[in-house]
Amino acid sequence: MAPAALQPFLSLLNNKPVKLLIAGGILIVSTEIAYELVLWWRKATKPKPKSCEVFFINRRKLVEPLPTPQDFLYEHINRIISYIDRAEKSICLAMYIFTMREICEAVIRAKRERSVVVRVVTCESMVANEGSFLRDLIAEDIKVQYKYKSEYLMHHKFCLLDTDWYCANCLIAYHTAEYGEPTKNMQHTLFDKAVMSDRAALLQRFGSSCVRCNPAERNKQDKRQRKQSNNPLPKHGLILAGSSNWTFPGLTTHWDTITVASLPELIDPFAAEFQRMWYELNDPLGLTHTREPLYKRRCGADF
C-alpha cells in the first residue's frame, strides 16, 4: 500500500485528463527523439565528399538516369557553376582566357545576390579578346587586374572559392617560410622587393590582420557563413585548377584537366600566389581597355 504522502499524487495520476496530458508529452518527446535519430542516421550514412578529385575534360561519367545531351556536354561547365553558386565569401580567379557566358553569369550572380568579393587576374594578351566576358565583369564593378606591357604571360587557370585572404604579415611569413628570406644577391620580383624594403606598401595593400592571425575574426566569419548557406563549401574553401581555359572547347572537348580540392596543403600555395599576383599585376582593367564583345556586335543585345 502506498504511503499516505503519495496518495494525492497517485490520485492525480488516475485523473483522465492528466493521463492524456502525460501520454501526449511522452508522444512528443518520443517523436523528437526519433527525428533526431533519423537526422543522425542520414548524416552517418551520407558519403563524405572527396577532398580531391581530378576530371578529364573529354571524359564523362555515365550515370543513371542518362542525362540529356546538353547536360552530358556541359558536365564540367555545370560542375564549375555549382561550386561558384555555393561561394559565400570570396572568388579569386586567375584565368588566361575566359569566354564562357554561363560561368560569367554565375560569378556576377555571386556578387549581386550574396555580396561575394570577386577578384580577377588576367593576361594583357587576352584583354582585347573579342569573345572575352571580362568586360561584363568590369561593368558589374568587379575588380579585374593585369600587367600593362608585361614581358611575360599570366598563363594560370585556377579559381579559389571561399579561401582565406592573408594580411601582409601572414603573407610575408608564408612566402618566407616556403621560399626563404629575400636577399640583395637574389633576382627579385616586385613582391620580393617590397618584402625587403617596402613592407609599408604591403601593409597598405593587404592590411595587418586577417582570419589567419585573428581567431576571433575566423569564428565570426564561420558563424556568418553557416547562417547564410545550407550547403557551404568545405571549411578551408576550394581550389579549381588545371590546364583548361574557361572556354567552351576548353571545358568540353580538349585534352585538358581540372582538379578540385579542399586540401589546405593544396589551397594555401595557390592563395598566397594569387595575392602575390594581385600585388604585382596591379594595373586595373577598365572598359576602355577592352573591345566591345563580338557576340554583342553580332546580336545587338545587352548581357
- Write down the pLDDT at residue 5: 61
Give tens-digit pLDDT for 188-210: 789 999 999 999 999 999 999 99
Distance (Å, whole) CA 164 – CA 268:
8
Residues in the chain: 303
Extents of the domains making up the chain: 52-164+236-289
| Structure-block grid coordinates of residue 256 | 585538358
Superfamily of domain 52-164+236-289: Endonuclease Chain A (3.30.870.10)
Distances (CA, A) of 123 to 151, 256, 265, 289: 11, 20, 26, 12
Each residue's pLDDT tens digit, 13-27: 566 675 666 666 777
Indicate the pTM of the whole model: 0.79
